[in-house]
């Protein structure tokens, strides 16, 4: 099965969304930064598409996961996920089929997507399942491309910049929702930049 390809043509991305393609913004919380030695402790996702020219959320997915290892203190500090919260939760191998069914063939969207895709694929390999094959959009890469003057492109900074409400930073379900909204704002920014470029080009022709 082919592995995921990252979409870097943002005009094509806008056309896919406008054409009704299903999208799935997702996020993972993990015990650390290494997909080889660390584990996923939460997967959150929001499915959405465009209907009548407006984005519509078509489903939500959220699951805490027992990683089979003690959680480092950083987990509680960042996400407020504790050992007690995951003690009675299923292992990742039991959660992944539900996430895969939820995502289906949607275009996956994540902030710093390479990180989340790498962790999910590592967990899929451990579960004896094939890696993700969905097309993927990285809103971190996209924001750096479209907003080079920002200087900061982390999810919470972009949320403040775009006036997006954040309810629970560093929890996978809310980060997935924020990521979805960031994508929509970035596509709007791209459209505005294209309109401005066309206006400048027209003005230059008239000079």
Give catalytic residues, as residue numbers. 170
CA-based end-to-end distance of the chain: 55
Distance CA 16, CA 82 (A): 39
Sheet containing 40-51: order of strands: 54-64, 40-51, 23-30, 107-110, 136-138
Distance CA 50, CA 103 (A): 16
Distance CA 6, CA 48 (A): 19
Strands of the chain, DSSP E: 23-30, 40-51, 54-64, 107-110, 136-138
Please give the full DSSP string across 5-40, using - where no structure is assigned: -B---HHHHHHHHHTT--EEEEEEEESSS-TTT--E
Distance CA 21, CA 48 (A): 9
């Amino acid at each position: 099965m082919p592995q995921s390809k990252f979409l870097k043509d943002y005009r094509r991305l806008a056309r896919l969304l406008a054409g009704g393609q299903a999208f799935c913004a997702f996020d993972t919380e993990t015990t650390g930064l290494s997909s080889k030695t660390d584990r996923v402790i939460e997967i959150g996702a929001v499915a959405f598409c465009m209907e009548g020219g407006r984005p519509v959320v078509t489903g939500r997915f959220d699951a805490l996961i027992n990683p089979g290892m003690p959680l480092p203190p950083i987990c509680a500090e960042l996400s407020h996920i504790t050992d007690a919260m995951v003690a009675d939760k299923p292992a990742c191998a039991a959660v992944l089929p539900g996430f895969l069914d939820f995502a289906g063939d949607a275009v996956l969207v994540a902030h710093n997507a390479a990180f989340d895709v790498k962790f999910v694929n590592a967990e899929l390999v451990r579960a004896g399942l094939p890696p993700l094959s969905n097309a993927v959009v990285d809103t971190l890469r996209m924001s750096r491309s479209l907003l080079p003057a920002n200087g900061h492109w982390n999810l919470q900074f972009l949320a403040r910049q775009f006036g997006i409400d954040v309810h629970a930073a560093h929890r996978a379900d809310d980060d997935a929702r924020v990521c979805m909204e960031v994508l929509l704002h970035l596509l709007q920014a791209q459209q505005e930049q294209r309109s401005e470029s066309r206006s400048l080009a027209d003005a230059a022709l008239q000079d």
